[in-house]
Amino acid sequence: MHKHFDAIVVGAGYIGSSAAYYLSKAGLKTAIFDQGSMAAGASRANYGNIQVQDLELQFSVPMIQMARTRFATLEQELDWDLGLRKLGGLLPIENENQWNILSKREKSLQTIGIASELVQANQLQEVEPSIDPVHLLGGLYHADEGQLDPFQLINAYLTRARQSGLQEYYHCPVTGFKLEHGKIKSIGTPAGIFSADHIILCTGAYTNRLGKMLGLEWDVLHYVLGQAMVTEPLPVQLRNHLASASFFEMGADIPKGVLLANMAISQSTHGNLLLGESMYEADHFKTHIPNNSLQWISRSVLKYFPIFKKLRILRGWSAAIADTRDGLPLLGPVAGIDGLYLATAFRSTVIITPLVGETLAQLITTGTSELDIQAFLPERNAYVSH
Ligand SMILES: Cc1cc2nc3c(=O)[nH]c(=O)nc-3n(C[C@H](O)[C@H](O)[C@H](O)COP(=O)(O)OP(=O)(O)OC[C@H]3O[C@@H](n4cnc5c(N)ncnc54)[C@H](O)[C@@H]3O)c2cc1C
């Protein structure tokens, strides 16, 4: 079988589904491929929180600010109930070092117009009534965040794209590429060869594995396996999603070989608690859960929420998440291979999906984009060609 498309998207997670929607909407004959089902990667494993701030601020904030305006009208754009709700974000602070890091961050965020407020320990329960502040110095509170249902968002993008002609190939891994005179020509899959003028890798943690098929490796890109678990539904309603300030102490680089457990709690719209997260840098994609990981998560959660002691855990999971050593995503054309693009390793992923999809469609149809992608170009300082 040999079929030709204007654009082929590889990976049907948050990013690939959005790319497929905006490319199809722009009138390009588009196909999407995934080695599993839709949302087979990290996008099946996440909380759906709409974070509006990344660890890195200089380049990510302008991107997130641009994305916010698109995100505000996304339900109308897709004509879909995404289960959107407003939710605060709270970063509980455990020590002086975290307090100093987050008080600097509070000022930076305020300067750039992101609602952010340092809260003392004795005020924490005003922000999050069920928290036990006894081991805490305070927290950094973001009033203006939110949550949606991850599967509704991905399903909405793909359904609407299908209505504009998207062709979908699931359980169909890309196993090779063909190049001709420096231009990408086609992908190889168990279902045959498919050619395209443009091929976009939205393959998250797997991106370097595909790069190697082309003799490329993006050195800045690595991945971690992140674990989380879900409880039975609860009557208690958390007002925020919470992530330990230790994430900011750690920086963008997770020490190799170390299993880290930092509290990250959210409550789904159905009332289930999502409890995380432990993570470690990996060189394999085995999604088994390491020994002690779930106990570590439980311990870090119970320290601040003893109220959750008697909860029943329904299940736990692990997923590979793409990450970069400079905290910035890889977005844009791949230097030296005409027609090949990357879009991966975003941090506040949910909120940027419409902007990234639109940016890819602009790059492919006009050669330029409204979003300045200079800092995100895949070949920045760490591009290794074999
Ligand atoms: C516990 C946890 C909680 C999280 N919570 C949040 C949150 O609240 N908010 C947030 O913004 N982010 C959150 N994240 C991060 C978020 O899940 C990821 O940033 C996001 O899912 C990445 O989406 P993606 O589309 O880039 O990659 P992925 O969803 O990983 O998609 C990549 C796709 O490529 C496919 N693929 C790979 N190789 C091939 C191949 N050879 N052929 C075909 N297909 C291939 C994979 O099957 C996969 O479906 C969380 C992550 C975890 C683990």
Our answer on whether the CB atom of 41 is closer than 6 Å to any ligand 1 atom is yes
Which ligand 1 atom is the nearest neighbour of the CA of 241?
8
Our answer on whether the CB atom of 204 is closer than 6 Å to any ligand 1 atom is yes
* pLDDT of amino acid 285: 86
CA distance 161 to 21: 4
pLDDT per position as a tens digit, 211-248: 999 999 999 999 999 999 999 999 878 999 999 998 88
* pLDDT of amino acid 2: 67
CA distance 366 to 369: 8
Same domain, 40 and 140: no
- CATH number of residue 261's parent domain: 3.30.9.10
- Supply angle C-alpha 78, 29, 221, rounded to 5: 75
Same domain, 307 and 236: yes
Same domain, 228 and 367: no
Same domain, 90 and 193: no
Residue whose token pair is 């249902």: 149
Query: Consecutive 10-residue runs of the chain (386 residues): their mean pLDDT?
Result: 90 98 98 97 95 87 92 97 95 96 94 92 97 96 94 98 98 98 97 98 97 94 93 91 89 71 89 90 84 87 92 92 92 97 96 98 98 94 45
Q: How many domains does the chain have?
A: 2
pTM: 0.95
Same domain, 214 and 235: no
Amino acid identity for residue 208 in this structure: N
Give yes or no for a contact between 127 and 239, defined as CB atoms under 8 angstroms apart: yes
Our answer on whether the CB atom of 46 is closer than 6 Å to any ligand 1 atom is yes
* pLDDT of amino acid 232: 94
Query: Is the Cα dihedral 160, 163, 164, 170 positive or negative?
Result: positive
Given 273, 308, 324, which residue is the final one in a domain?
324
CA of 72 to the centre of ligand 1 (A): 22
Same domain, 273 and 352: no
Instruction: Find the domain containing 369 and state its range.
Output: 2-66+151-219+327-385
Same domain, 8 and 31: yes
List beta partners, residue 340: 199
Same domain, 235 and 214: no
* pLDDT of amino acid 76: 98
Residue nearest to atom 6 of ligand 1 (CA): 46
Same domain, 113 and 158: no
Our answer on whether the CB atom of 49 is closer than 6 Å to any ligand 1 atom is yes
Alpha-helix residue ranges (DSSP H) falling in the chain: 14-25, 60-72, 74-78, 96-111, 124-127, 150-163, 207-213, 246-250, 293-304, 349-366
> Is 79 among the domain residues?
no
Give yes or no for a contact between 38 and 17, defined as CB atoms under 8 angstroms apart: yes
* pLDDT of amino acid 143: 94
Residue to mutate (ligand 1; options 22, 43, 274, 356; most atoms within 8 A of CB): 43
Pairing mode of beta strands 138-147, 117-120: antiparallel
- CATH number of residue 362's parent domain: 3.50.50.60
pLDDT per position as a tens digit, 42-64: 999 999 999 888 888 889 989 99
* pLDDT of amino acid 385: 43
List beta partners, residue 92: 139
Phi, psi of 312 (to 5 degrees): -95, 130
Same domain, 301 and 311: yes
CA of 260 to the centre of ligand 1 (A): 20
* pLDDT of amino acid 382: 44
Our answer on whether the CB atom of 18 is closer than 6 Å to any ligand 1 atom is no
Secondary structure E strands in the chain:
2-10, 30-33, 49-50, 85-93, 117-120, 138-147, 167-169, 176-180, 183-189, 192-201, 216-218, 221-233, 240-243, 260-267, 272-281, 313-324, 330-333, 340-344, 383-385
